[in-house]
Amino acid sequence: MIEISGLSMAYPGQRGHQPVAALRDVDLRVEDGEFVSIVGPSGCGKSTLLHLVAGFERPIGGSVRVLGQEVTGPGSDRAVVFQQAALYPWQSVRDNIGFGLRIHGMHRAEYDRRVEHYLGIMGLTAFARHAPYHLSGGMRQRVAIARALITEPGIMLMDEPFGALDAQTRNEMQRFLLRLWRTLRPTVLFVTHDVEEAILLSDRVVILTARPGQLALDLKVPFQRPREWDLVLTPEFVEVKRRLLAVLQPQLESAERVEALIAELSPRSGKRRPE
């Protein structure tokens, strides 16, 4: 479904800084209907990777292909869910959810049917006429997910969608997402900082190195679905988590060292950059 090959990305440096190399030579294949999580240190290029698949940016090297076609811009086959539900505050829950259908100019009756259907799936029917600021964080994120799913995209790109939620709401949202995924079966690329979340949700977990992000590990999750929530307590789960952390932890430490060095060498620090 998604074929990422030799993908590299850099951003121009700001105010006298060196250009930022965000990704280097990343290869990744994601099959139709697969759920793949991406984990890595802050600033290693996870969001950049999703933005390149979404077509928001163009890479400096390599390519992203979706069903064999090179991605050159955004498309209705790919939907994005961000960490903070990016809703239109002046529109009701109902209008927010239907947004993607309106821009496609869908017939009114079909539009109403689909919006009602998704309001129902998301448990938001009673809140259809509310403004987003009347909702809790978890509900707002459900609206954002509904808005992404309603156009029935083949691919969902989720960038730490539950990162801002409290532990209990996050747990509910994870279960909710898995139920949706089982019925609709989109291909999912899911960015998270949380290794347990990655294992519980995914078919595979991919770890990126510190910036510029390169592939450090691509691990198949060996647990059957549906997964019970006490799976995290089993020795098998702890072993998978240990294998992931063994690769991730040195990357977190290396990212910290690199950021400290960059701060020290910044033009404002007055120190000379080594040749």
Ligand X SMILES: Nc1ncnc2c1ncn2[C@@H]1O[C@H](COP(=O)(O)OP(=O)(O)OP(=O)(O)O)[C@@H](O)[C@H]1O
**Residue numbers at the binding site for Mg ion (CB under 5 A):** 47
Q: Which stretch binds ligand X (CB under 6 A): 25-33, 35-43, 107-115, 165-173?
A: 35-43
Give the one residue of 1, 2, 24, 43 binding ligand X; rule: CB under 6 A. 43
* Interior/surface letters 243-273, b for 16+ CB within 10 angstroms, e for the rest: ebeebbeebeeebeeeeeeeeeeeeeeeeee
Nearer to ligand X, 139 or 191 (CB): 191
Residue 153 interface partner, choices Mg ion, ligand X, none, CB cut-off 5-8 Å depending on type? none
Rounded distance, CA 115 to CA 100, Å? Answer: 11
Contact present, 156 and 82 (Cβ < 8 Å): no
Minimum distance of ligand X from residue 42's CB (angstroms): 3
Residue of minimal Cβ distance to Mg ion: 47
Give the one residue of 46, 94, 114, 140 binding ligand X; rule: CB under 6 A. 46
Give the one residue of 1, 30, 44, 215 binding ligand X; rule: CB under 6 A. 44
Amino acid at 153: P
Minimum distance of ligand X from residue 160's CB (angstroms): 7
Minimum distance of ligand X from residue 197's CB (angstroms): 14
Cβ neighbours of 155 (radius 10 Å): 21
Q: In this structure, is the dihedral angle defined by the CA atoms of residues 105, 106, 112 and 117, taken in order, positive or negative? A: negative
